[in-house]
Amino acid sequence: MDGLDISMAKISHLDWKSKLIDFIYGFNDLKESDTIDHFECDFGKWLYSSGLKEFEHLPIMKAIEIEHKIVHNDIKRIVNISKTEREGVAGQQIIDDFKLKCDSLITLLDQLKLKV
């Protein structure tokens, strides 16, 4: 698995979970320019340069690709919601949903690590 440190990929995406929790609760401010898409993060660069080719025989790779894209799309969507929406019940639901998606990605990365 040249070029990929799964532990660092996990840490990076968990860091976003923490940042978004702080954002929802008003402890920090984020804007879309603070985010990167699923192609630009280190994991995405590895995934699209060699990961999908190298491990195409593993069915889990497609699930990882899909979940990774969803996580990044949600990050961008969340940083663009209004302060009013963040502070209400909707904000709590949004972050709870994101936590589940992020945790799902982490679980998939753990499973990948066991397979390679």
Q: Which CATH number fits domain 6-115: 1.10.630.10, 1.20.120.30, 3.40.109.10, 3.40.190.10?
A: 1.20.120.30
Give the length of the chain.
Answer: 116
pLDDT at 3: 59
Given a contact cutoff of 8 angstroms between Cβ atoms, the answer to whether 71 and 101 are in contact is yes
**CA–CA distance, 75 with 94 (Å, rounded to integer):** 10
pLDDT truncated to tens, each residue of the chain (116 aa)? 555 688 888 999 999 999 999 999 999 999 999 999 999 998 999 999 999 999 989 999 999 999 999 999 999 999 999 989 988 898 999 999 999 999 999 999 999 988 87
pTM, full prediction? 0.89
| Cα→Cα distances 71→15, 41, 101, Å | 12, 12, 6
Distance in angstroms (rounded) separating the CA atoms of residues 4 and 24? 31
Please compute, for residue 31, the number of CA atoms within 13 A of its CA located in the half-sphere on the CB side.
1
